[in-house]
Each structure stands twice: as C-alpha cells, then as structure tokens.
Chain A
Amino acid sequence: MIELNAVDKWYGDFQVLKDCSTNVSKGEVVVVCGPSGSGKSTLIKCVNGLEPFQKGAITVDGISVGDKATNLSKLRSRIGMVFQNFELFPHVTVMQNINLGQTVVLKRDASEAEEKAMALLERVGLADQALKHPAQLSGGQQQRVAIARALAMDPIAMLFDEPTSALDPEMINEVLDVMVALANDGMTMMVVTHEMGFARKVADRVVFMDEGRIEEDCPTEEFFGSPRGERAQLFLSKILSH
C-alpha cells in the first residue's frame, strides 16, 4: 500500500532523511519511533507529499508521490492525516471541519456529508459537540475530531504524526482508544508515536529511526524482545524505564 524506496531528503545542506526504505501493506499497522530530531515526522509528511524529498521513490496505492505529473491533491484526499497539534480549522464548527473535505473535494451533497459526520462523531464519542468551535473542546476531544475529519474522506490509509504528543496525560488514552479501534477494524496505519504501549498492543511492525536513518524495521515482538541496534536499545530503556 505504502512503499518507500531509498528516500533522501535535505534541508539545504543538512540531510534529514538518509536512504529510508520501508513499506506498509494493506491492513497493516506500522509504528515509527525514535528520538526527537530523528526525522520520523519528516518521513511521514513525505508519504503524502506535504514535504518534498529529493531522491528515492514513494508510492501509495501504486501512485508515485514524487512524480511531478501526479495529482497530489487527489492522492492526498485518499490518505487521512492526523497532526500533532490537531490543526482543526478554528474559524468553523466541528461539523464544518468534518464536512469541508467531503463537500469541496468529494463533492458530496450537504445532507450526505452531515450524516457521515454525525456517524463519525458518534464513533469517536463526540456527537454532542458537533456545533461547537474547536477552541471550546479539550485537546483530546479536538484530536478525536481531527481523526473523524480524516476518516470522513474514506481514506485507504491513515497517517498519524505524533497524535498524542501535545496532549495532557489524562487525555492520551481517549485518543489511543479511538486509534486502537481503528486498527482493529483493519485500517492501514502509519503512526509516528512514543506510545510504546500502543505499539505493543496493535502494531504489526515497528520502525526505529535515528539521525535520519531507519535503524530497525521488524515485527513488534521482535522489536520489544531483542532490539539489535545499540541506539534502539538505549531509546527503549529510556522510554520504558518509567
């Protein structure tokens, strides 16, 4: 479904991604972890072309992301994305946040979009918040709305960029619960996160990044059992010691 082949990316002289290759099959959940600055957020943003890359290839559902001829908007409309800072549109209601892509991009009529939005809000437990503005919701609620907004487009895969990093601890679980349910429903997911509990529970594979390089890419049990690399071991010991 998502294939990365020898991706290199530079910010000026600084190389943020070095020869990154991995893939996510249909229905698979892949967690990407690593220390801050290791390039994991950049990597996931390359998958739907929000960040350009200079070398290598990324294909999603057989379509090349880096190809200039690719209709990126169209491709992105089929890939859901959830951001660290939620990025709900502050000037419109929760309902309108979920409807915008449906009506403008997918050309659904208003009643159909609304019906879909309500069903999704129900699913993330926020049906009673539809008419509020994002600023009136807690962080956890905003992130659940953001997930609903992405799901409204009926995506073939979902990308999560540190979805719980900006949340207060007591709100992390309500977001993870939604993500676990999504994973159990068979959604193809690529998740950048430090939540190792989540990784253990639902991830099929774990990708460990350090200094722009993919250092580990292995099945979940193997990753938590015996990480081969020194850096991965250090990272895990830091994260799991508490």
Chain B
Amino acid sequence: MFSNFDTKVILDNLPTLLAGMQLTLLLTLIAIVGGLVLGTILALCRLSPFRPLSFVAAGYVNFFRSMPLILVIFWFYFLVPRIVGQPVGGFYSVLTAFVLFEAAYYCEIMRAGIQSVRTGQVHAGQALGLTYAQNMRYVVLPQAFRNMVPVLLTQAIILFQDTSLVYVVGVKDFLVSADLVANRENRILEMFTTVAVVYFAMCLAGSLFIKRLQRKYAT
C-alpha cells in the first residue's frame, strides 16, 4: 500500500498545508484566550452569592456542556448570519462557536481552581482590607491559575484537535486544506497520513510539556 507513497506531493503543497495549520493555530489560540476570559467571568458568576447570577451562569454551562460541539458549530454557521442579517464569514462564525463552547469548560476548570485556594488565603486578603474584586485579582486568581495550568493546557490540546471539526462548514484549517489537496491530486493516502503524523507529533509534544510542568510544580 505504501509502495507508491509520494512524498513530493506533500512538499509541493507545503504552502497550502502551512496556511491551513496557521488558521488551525490561530483558531485554537483565540478560542483559548476568549474561552479563558469568558470562562473566568462565568466562574466568578457561578461562585457569586447573588443567586440570579450564579443561576444564569450555571444554566449557560450546563447548556453548552450538553450540546455536541458540531451542532454548536452548525448553529452559528447557519443561524447567526440570519440573526445579524448579513453573512459573517465561516471563520468568524466558528470562532464565536468555539469561544462560547470552550468558555463552558474553562468555567468549570476555573471554578475548581478558585475553590482550590484555601480559605485562609482569602481571609488574609480580606484582613488587609482588600475588596472582593481586589482579593480575586491579586490573591485568589493568580493562585487558581497556577493550580490549574496542567488542566488548562490539557483542555487546550483537546481544543486543538477539536478545531478540525470546522471541516463540516468548510473553513480551511489544516485538515480541510489537506483534504482539498488530497482530492485535487488524488493522493488521499499521503495527505491523511501527513495530517495524522502532524497532529500526533504536536499533541504528543504538548502532553510531554505538560508532564514536565506538572513534575516541576508538583510540590
């Protein structure tokens, strides 16, 4: 099966593949940052003593965690243009879908992180006269983030893989670019092998990096 494996087609189409990878990475990065910011806000809402706020945040999280990601992608791709009345473009619609979807997961990670900070630390901040917001900003969240780094990065790797789902709406990420080349050149084996190897290598590197971090901060 691999006897006529043609490496030339990979090299010839490298610019297309790299452009696809660039979009994949950009999508991943923005979804992580956006998801983290929105997720942190949601986590603060969920932990708020003000009931309506925590109720709404909990509803948001439970809703998105009960939805298949692919459905959320479809939903934003087909429905958002209708709501705003003009085409928004594939990239922006999937970006919105990923940020909103990931925020639900990051919220739960951050909530666990915030709760992992001991009450004594919260009291120490309060005793200095810090307000709730100041205490969060300077005492609780920095420690929560540190505790959560391995889990946050693991979620980032999952997200990196999940971005390939944009295939269903034809946004040209790494997988879709490879698929286009595969069909054009009739080299399915070469292209999908390349895609598999690249995803495997990047995710493995990411996992090893996290393991090292965990060992370093285990104490």
A83-B124, A87-B120 are contacts. A73–B138 as well, Cβ < 8 Å?
no
Quick check: B126 and A76 within 8 Å, CB to CB? yes
Q: Does B146 contact A (CB under 8 A)?
A: yes
A90-B143, A91-B142, A104-B134 are contacts. A74–B129 as well, Cβ < 8 Å?
yes
Quick check: B138 and A100 within 8 Å, CB to CB? yes
Q: Separation in Å of the A220 CB from the closest CB of chain B?
A: 27
Quick check: B123 and A105 within 8 Å, CB to CB? no
Q: Does A153 contact B (CB under 8 A)?
A: yes
- Chain A: residues with CB nearer than 8 A to chain B? 45, 48, 50, 73-81, 83, 85, 87-92, 100-101, 104-105, 149-150, 153
A90-B143, A91-B142 are contacts. A101–B123 as well, Cβ < 8 Å?
no
Which of B128, B138, B139 sits near A76, CB closer than 8 Å? B128
Q: Separation in Å of the A103 CB from the closest CB of chain B?
A: 10
Q: Separation in Å of the B58 CB from the closest CB of chain A?
A: 25
A87-B124, A89-B139 are contacts. A101–B129 as well, Cβ < 8 Å?
yes
Quick check: A73 and B129 within 8 Å, CB to CB? yes
Quick check: B120 and A83 within 8 Å, CB to CB? yes
Bound CA–CA A76/B127 (angstroms):
5
Q: A83-B120, A87-B120 are in contact. List 5 more A-B contacts (CB 8 A).
A: A73-B130, A81-B127, A83-B127, A87-B124, A100-B138
Quick check: B138 and A77 within 8 Å, CB to CB? no
Q: Does B116 contact A (CB under 8 A)?
A: no
Quick check: B120 and A85 within 8 Å, CB to CB? yes
Bound CA–CA A83/B124 (angstroms):
8
Q: Is the interface of B mostly helix, strand, loop or mixed?
A: helix
Q: Does B48 contact A (CB under 8 A)?
A: no
Which of B121, B128, B139 sits near A149, CB closer than 8 Å? B128
Contacts of A48 in B (CB 8 A): 127
Bound CA–CA A88/B146 (angstroms):
16
Q: How many residues of B contact A (CB 8 A)?
A: 17
Q: Separation in Å of the B45 CB from the closest CB of chain A?
A: 21
Contacts of A149 in B (CB 8 A): 128
Contacts of A85 in B (CB 8 A): 120
Quick check: B120 and A77 within 8 Å, CB to CB? no
**Closest residue of B by beta carbon distance from A76:** B129
Q: Does B131 contact A (CB under 8 A)?
A: yes
Quick check: A83 and B143 within 8 Å, CB to CB? no
Contacts of B134 in A (CB 8 A): 104-105
Q: Separation in Å of the A213 CB from the closest CB of chain B?
A: 25
Which 3 pairs between the two chains have the least Cβ-Cβ distance? Answer: A77-B129, A87-B124, A101-B128
Contacts of A45 in B (CB 8 A): 123
Quick check: A50 and B121 within 8 Å, CB to CB? no
19 CB < 8 A contacts A-B: A45-B123, A50-B123, A50-B126, A75-B129, A77-B128, A79-B127, A80-B127, A83-B123, A89-B138, A91-B146, A100-B138, A100-B139, A101-B130, A104-B130, A105-B128, A105-B129, A105-B134, A150-B128, A153-B128
Q: Separation in Å of the B68 CB from the closest CB of chain A?
A: 38
Bound CA–CA A56/B126 (angstroms):
22
**Closest residue of A by beta carbon distance from B120:** A87
Which of A79, A89, A105 sits near B124, CB closer than 8 Å? A89
Quick check: B127 and A100 within 8 Å, CB to CB? no
Q: Separation in Å of the B217 CB from the closest CB of chain A?
A: 11
Quick check: B129 and A91 within 8 Å, CB to CB? no
Q: Separation in Å of the A191 CB from the closest CB of chain B?
A: 15
Contacts of B128 in A (CB 8 A): 76-77, 100-101, 105, 149-150, 153
